[in-house]
Homo-oligomer: A and B are copies of this chain.
Amino acid sequence: MKHFRDEDALVGEIARQFLPSRDQKLRLGIGDDAALWKQRPGFAGILTSDWFLEGSHFLREKHPPESVGWKCLARAASDIAAMGGTPRCFLLNLALPSSATGKWLKSFLRGLRRAAERLHCVLAGGDTTLSNRILISVTVIGEIAEGQEVLRSGARAGDLLFVSGTLGEAEQGLRLIRENGGGARPTNSALRKHLFPEPRVELGRWLAQKKLASAMMDLSDGLSSDLPRICAASGVGALIHLSSLPVLRGIGETTRTQLALHGGDDYELLFTITPRKAASLPAKFRKLRLTQIGEITKERGVRVAGRDGVAKPLRASGWDPFRKAK
């Protein structure tokens, strides 16, 4: 177990783990009171900040520290992708028990660095302190060409509803981890999706640049929790076709449907698009499947139509810390 002389020594260790910034828009990184960030002309900044807490968002005994490092940045960057933007830099607030300042920290930083390199998102600063459990708060600053941002509020009745990838896979990965734990280099794709999710930055940017999506968000809490947010922001409703959901293969039908409707942590993009534009949407973006799962309705509320064609209201039962606590 490694002990740091003081906070400056820990900050120095973190700074050393990250390459000096070659990103000219980040003028000054770690080591001063704050970081300087220059926007490019014609671009707007995008700001988002997320908790990632031991016991709530990850389990220290079950989740490899490399996954914690990767995921704390990936999930915040996913919010930038959800607006069609590109992540540029991030601030890391990290509170650790002294028992985690050695091997755990080293693996955590390795995972974080991998995500930062994958996303071309540089560490700009943050804050460190001691705590009896591991607390992480990550702020990501992204950018988008002015006027290209895709909001939650742009869905209109008649728009078609799409998702990227497979739904429920990360939740299935979580179930496997609860049973068996997960390694730092998982081979199972559900495990990998839960531990090392890939924010859909390229897809989001493409949908925004081509002005294809009318509304967009990322699926973090599960379709049944997140879709009502697009509907509320846009003043519309939605109808999902159960048979269209891109579910997992190799598990029972009831389970895979429940996972697809309510499973969290997928970080896929949920977006709406007019029928005219949808006609030119490819079935895949690079290797990522794009699936129409329903449509936007004038009638409020989210309903789901089964194979019998009968539509029933969909009750939100994805991840919500406040709902869980009651």
Contacts and interface: CB of A to CB of B under 8 A. Distances in A.
Interface of A: 3-10, 27-28, 31-39, 41, 44-51, 53, 56-57, 79-80, 82-83, 85, 89, 91-93, 95, 98, 124-131, 135, 137, 139, 141-142, 144, 146, 149, 151-153, 217-218, 229, 233, 316, 320-326
Given A129-B321, A322-B5, A37 B47 contact: yes
A127 B95 contact: no
Given A6-B323, A322-B4, A127 B33 contact: no
A95 B45 contact: no
B51 A95 contact: yes
Contact of A39 (B7, B39, B83, B95): B39
For the complex of A and B, the 3 pairs showing the least CB-CB separation, nearest first, are A137-B137, A34-B48, A37-B45
Contact of A32 (B92, B124, B151): B151
A202 to B, nearest CB: 17
A187 to B, nearest CB: 31
A6 B50 CA distance: 17
Contacts of A326: 3
A62 B56 CA distance: 27
B41 A41 contact: yes
B153 A98 contact: no
18 contacts: A6-B322, A7-B323, A27-B44, A31-B152, A31-B233, A32-B217, A34-B47, A36-B44, A36-B149, A38-B44, A38-B45, A47-B141, A49-B49, A51-B127, A53-B135, A56-B131, A127-B137, A141-B141
A8 B46 contact: no
Contact of A139 (B3, B49, B79): B49
Contacts of A131: 53, 56
A325 B130 contact: yes
Given A31-B233, A51-B93, A46 B36 contact: yes
Contact of A34 (B80, B126, B325): B80
A45 B49 contact: no
Contacts of A129: 51, 53, 56-57, 321
A112 to B, nearest CB: 15
A34 B322 contact: no
A125 to B, nearest CB: 6
Given A321-B130, A322-B6, A91 B48 contact: yes
B45 A218 contact: no
A3 B320 CA distance: 14
Contact of A83 (B33, B53, B153): B33
A128 B320 CA distance: 10
Nearest to A215: B32
A137 B83 contact: no
Contacts of A46: 34-37
Residue from the set A44, A47, A51, A320 with the largest chain B CB neighbour count within 10 Å? A47
Given A9-B322, A131-B53, A47 B33 contact: no
B9 A49 contact: no
A46 B37 CA distance: 6
